A and B are shown apart, each in its own frame.
Chain A
């Protein structure tokens, strides 16, 4: 009786120590759910959701501090994907955050730029290059279309343009239902 109690006690302590060590050794620093949510967001870092970037918004969703319908650039597709992931009901985009628009980028009118660097500081993805009192320019392929550089510009030399894709990215729309064919047989 005593032996078995002692034996089980020792075993219990040993396993407890083992588990405690494993919990420290293999600790996951980041919340895997945040990573998954972050992967579904469009990464424009535009802040339209009310959080300073996509990752903070992802963290807020995982803490259930924010709803899943606050991301205009992601639009319906992102909301549906988030609803799938979190097992929640999909809902329409919250109009307070904005409306879904086609992808755009910004363009600096280089003749009017005074080189104040304010837009460079505002850009969340370092897509604007330039230096003090020298012309600035936008790296089109890196621009996410967040438009955060527009408000700080003192001379309003930044405009929104349609994103140009090369090679022309085309694909058919969903096919119609009625079809006709060439007779060959």
Chain B
């Protein structure tokens, strides 16, 4: 199975140019934030570290208000998902519910840390011998360091790696295709730290047991290609290649990238590991290198602060928990005509209510837009069935159909029409001539489906428990009735009553006989 998949893959890569369905060519707007070198902003006064920074459950806090923490010390744990670490040394001021930069916009528990400015690290536990270490110990180290996919979905890295290792992965794909306009944090990372990315790629490859690594970048990133291929780690590594792909949005999507590289489609409801592939973001690879060779947990990331609403757009290396307002200050503050703040890119990002929201593992970009960048609100018109949305949909869905089904509450056919395969890229939304907020409808529909599934699961459980309780009560009642009936029968039976009286007289006699002699008593007869 694996061999045939691998052969198919070998045949596919590089022999013909593949493409995915639909997509859009968008203006990049990336240059404005790529002028300066990336540096860290000064330490903020207070860090607000949310306990939910990854796909999965909220972490349990490991610290209390008043505790002193060191840089890199675990402050939140969550068994199946990724741990949360303190980004600075300092004091825990409180654990309270605050806005946590989650796409839901809902507040959640955050650890408030006031830095002491000493930047004292906790004892780190690097793996100097990673080249000989077992894949499982590498994955464990990745898990302990709290790594999650830094491309935006923040899926716990160790879970993806375990799945990939168990499914016999042959190729690791590093995703450097940053297809969404304005965002340039991965591009800057690849230009400034190519060695770390290649090192991370080799560690990930070892942990997966894969043979080769493909680093995918956009065809406009010539500087990135130069940086990657020029670094000494690249020259020393075998079977690592840099592949350029045409810049079409949303090519940075995992499934779309795999389709472009190999011509193979990841099955609906399946994962890339079904094809023997694992896809990781380049920033994740760099973080893996730090986690394994230096023992450093994931406490910071590159963030693009850009848009016409910021005086001096650039990329920053930001500690998690830093408020967005602090980043904007480091970039010269807002311009006069700033109108909106977006976390993420213009296509998939979500508007921020306030700039006090913290940077988290998922934050790749802070986008400040002016009124010029935003089209005036248009009234929604009825769908005219033009089919543009279906033409651009990279998941090959029928957005117009899904939209009508959600509107009318047809939940059953909705699943058959593959709403779950929607990647919420926003292409359909962008081209719709009737200004229908399709992606908003799909997010609403997905939430409804999930709620419905959970509710029916819960009611099924309750039904089973109720039925088993009823059965148990019935059984107990029957048993009691039978017992009563037996006792009644014995009482009513005259002959057996006589027998029992005789037997007890005998017992008493034998006892009184045996007492003076001190011999063993006669056998008791219980009838």
Give the B-binding residues of A (Cβ under 8 A): 38, 41-45, 53-55, 124-127, 142, 144, 166-185
A14 vs B205: C-alpha distance when bound (angstroms): 73
- Interface residues in B, total, Cβ within 8 A: 54
Whether the Cβ atoms of A172 and B451 lie closer than 8 Å is no
8 new A-B contacts at CB < 8 Å, known A126-B465, A184-B430:
A44-B462, A144-B458, A166-B57, A171-B446, A171-B447, A181-B374, A181-B375, A184-B27
Residues of the B chain whose Cβ atoms lie less than 8 Å from the Cβ of A45: 462, 466
Total A-B pairs in contact (CB under 8 Å)? 117
The minimal Cβ–Cβ distance linking A157 to chain B, given in whole angstroms, is: 23
Among B52, B380, B437, max chain A CB count under 10 A is at: B437
Residues of the A chain whose Cβ atoms lie less than 8 Å from the Cβ of B437: 175-176, 179
Whether the Cβ atoms of A168 and B469 lie closer than 8 Å is no
The minimal Cβ–Cβ distance linking B255 to chain A, given in whole angstroms, is: 23
Interface residues of B in 428-480 (CB under 8 A from A): 429-430, 435-437, 440-441, 443-444, 446-448, 450-451, 454-455, 458-463, 465-470
Among A44, A124, A176, A180, max chain B CB count under 10 A is at: A180
Among B346, B443, B458, max chain A CB count under 10 A is at: B458
Instruction: Report if A183-B374 is in contact (Cβ < 8 Å); known contacts: A166-B58, A168-B102.
Output: yes
Whether the Cβ atoms of B373 and A168 lie closer than 8 Å is no
Whether the Cβ atoms of B58 and A168 lie closer than 8 Å is yes
B369 at interface by CB-CB < 8 Å: yes
The minimal Cβ–Cβ distance linking A119 to chain B, given in whole angstroms, is: 14
Instruction: Report if A172-B440 is in contact (Cβ < 8 Å); known contacts: A181-B430, A183-B375.
Output: yes
B516 at interface by CB-CB < 8 Å: no
Contact of A168 (CB < 8 Å), options: B108, B374, B429, B468? B108
Whether the Cβ atoms of A167 and B58 lie closer than 8 Å is yes
B520 at interface by CB-CB < 8 Å: no
Whether the Cβ atoms of A168 and B466 lie closer than 8 Å is no
The chain B residue sitting closest to A73, CB to CB, is B459
Whether the Cβ atoms of A172 and B444 lie closer than 8 Å is yes
A168 vs B29: C-alpha distance when bound (angstroms): 35
The chain A residue sitting closest to B342, CB to CB, is A182
Residues of the B chain whose Cβ atoms lie less than 8 Å from the Cβ of A176: 437
Residues of the A chain whose Cβ atoms lie less than 8 Å from the Cβ of B347: 182
The chain B residue sitting closest to A166, CB to CB, is B57
The chain B residue sitting closest to A165, CB to CB, is B454
A176 vs B346: C-alpha distance when bound (angstroms): 19
Whether the Cβ atoms of A182 and B369 lie closer than 8 Å is yes
Whether the Cβ atoms of A170 and B375 lie closer than 8 Å is no
Of the A-B pairs whose beta carbons lie under 8 Å apart in the complex, a sample of 16, sorted by A's number, is A44-B462, A45-B466, A54-B466, A126-B468, A142-B461, A166-B57, A168-B106, A169-B451, A169-B454, A170-B104, A171-B447, A178-B380, A179-B380, A179-B436, A180-B376, A181-B430
The chain B residue sitting closest to A179, CB to CB, is B437
